[in-house]
Amino acid sequence: MAGQGTQDPRQNTEIISAAVFRLEVPGMNAVNFAELVGISSEVENAEYMAAGPTGPIFSRHFGRT
């Protein structure tokens, strides 16, 4: 039986999750952070047309990032 003031971890239904990241650059101070906002990435579509045996073939591929 668990002592007074202690909790059996098997009965704990609360889940706590947190990620902390660390950025280290030689010659500079290390930085710890938990959230990064304002950075985005886009990939353009590149459309191609080729001559196939039954006529033109259109396709889309990943383009510039």
Q: Whose CA is closest to 65, among 45, 48, 40, 42?
A: 42
Q: What is the pLDDT of residue 2?
A: 47
Residue holding tokens 């660390």?
Answer: 22
CA–CA dist 41, 35 (Å, integer):
17
Q: What pLDDT, in 10s, does the model give residues 4-42?
A: 556 666 666 666 667 888 888 898 888 888 887 888 888
Q: How far is C-alpha 17 from the chain's CA centre?
A: 16
pLDDT recorded at residue 5 = 56
pLDDT over 60 (residue 49): yes
